[in-house]
């Protein structure tokens, strides 16, 4: 037997190599080309928000948008493998001809948020309001976007806003159903912790959470993104 195979060093190397192999699977694009989102990237954008590049890709790639809608109601796990399992479950569910009403509806629905900008300008008067404009891509069936109750939209966390509007519902594929929304929160107040951090460091990265409810439904929308605030 080759002694190098059983030495502790090679066991370590094997573990590293296996880890890389495992990692690479989750880093592999799930869609049609290399710019498509991987399992790891999908988890990241759901948990921490989408970059302007991610948003641009989602606008142009129906495959990635379809992947997201198939994750409806799935519990988010940090292990990227849950996406593959969720997609397999979705395929199985689609093949069963049970009426939609017989299926249990998930209560919490998530979405991907992004500003399309690398930071939020706080302005010379950091005590003032900021105008938040967010892209929202559903991680659920796009039909539900039409049921989102504009009056229920709220922002919590690094920014606080109790009034928001659906500035635009964008239909990308011409099927008369919106594929994503532009949400506008014209007067969002910065949380005291953000103001304090900006006073000291002129910039801070913090998280906002958007919540909303759907008409005629007990379902709730929860979506988060990290934002960089700069004075």
Residues that bind Zn ion (CB under 5 A): 31, 36, 61, 63-64
If the CB atoms of residues 62 and 207 are measured against Zn ion, the closer one turns out to be 62
Q: What is the DSSP string of 52-64?
A: HHHHHHHHH-HHH
If the CB atoms of residues 61 and 178 are measured against Zn ion, the closer one turns out to be 61
Which residues lie closer than 8 Å to 11 by C-beta, 6 or more apart?
none
Tokens representing residue 2 in the block: 């080759």
**How many Å separate Cα 146 from the centre of its chain?**
19
**Cβ 209 to Zn ion, closest distance in Å?**
26
**Cβ 63 to Zn ion, closest distance in Å?**
5
Provide φ and ψ at 47, rounded to 5°. Answer: -85, -35
**Cβ 155 to Zn ion, closest distance in Å?**
28
Which regions of the chain does DSSP assign to beta strands (E)? 108-114, 120-121, 130-138, 154-157, 159-160, 165-170, 180-190, 203-213, 220-230
**Cβ 91 to Zn ion, closest distance in Å?**
18
If the CB atoms of residues 180 and 214 are measured against Zn ion, the closer one turns out to be 180
**Cβ 33 to Zn ion, closest distance in Å?**
7
If the CB atoms of residues 172 and 191 are measured against Zn ion, the closer one turns out to be 172
**Cβ 31 to Zn ion, closest distance in Å?**
3
If the CB atoms of residues 46 and 61 are measured against Zn ion, the closer one turns out to be 61
If the CB atoms of residues 36 and 48 are measured against Zn ion, the closer one turns out to be 36
Per the CB < 8 A criterion, the answer to whether 222 and 209 are in contact is yes
b vs e for 198-219, b when ≥16 Cβ sit within 10 Å of the residue's Cβ? beeeeebebebebebbbeeeeb
Tokens representing residue 3 in the block: 């002694």
Q: What is the DSSP string of 145-161?
A: GGGB-GGG-EEEESEEB
């Amino acid at each position: 037997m080759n002694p190098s195979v059983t030495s502790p060093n090679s066991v370590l190397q094997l573990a590293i190599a296996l880890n890389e192999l495992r990692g690479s699977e989750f880093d592999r694009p799930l869609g049609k080309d290399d710019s498509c989102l991987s399992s790891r990237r999908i988890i990241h954008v759901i948990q921490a928000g989408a970059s302007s590049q991610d948003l641009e890709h989602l606008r142009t790639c129906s495959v990635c948008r379809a992947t997201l809608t198939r994750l409806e109601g799935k519990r988010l796990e940090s292990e990227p493998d849950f996406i593959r399992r969720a997609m397999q479950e979705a395929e199985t569910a689609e093949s069963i001809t049970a009426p939609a009403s017989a299926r249990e509806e998930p209560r919490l629905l998530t979405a991907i948020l992004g500003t399309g900008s690398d930071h939020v300008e706080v302005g010379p008067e950091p005590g003032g309001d900021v105008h938040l404009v967010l892209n929202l891509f559903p991680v659920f069936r796009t039909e539900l976007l039409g049921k989102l109750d504009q009056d229920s939209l709220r922002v919590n966390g690094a920014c606080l806003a109790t009034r928001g509007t659906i500035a635009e519902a964008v239909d990308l594929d011409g099927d008369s159903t919106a594929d994503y929304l532009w949400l506008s929160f014209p007067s969002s107040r910065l949380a005291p912790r953000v103001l304090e951090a900006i006073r000291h460091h002129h910039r801070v990265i913090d998280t906002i959470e958007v919540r909303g409810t759907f008409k005629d439904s007990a379902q709730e929308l929860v979506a988060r993104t990290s934002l960089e605030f700069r004075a």
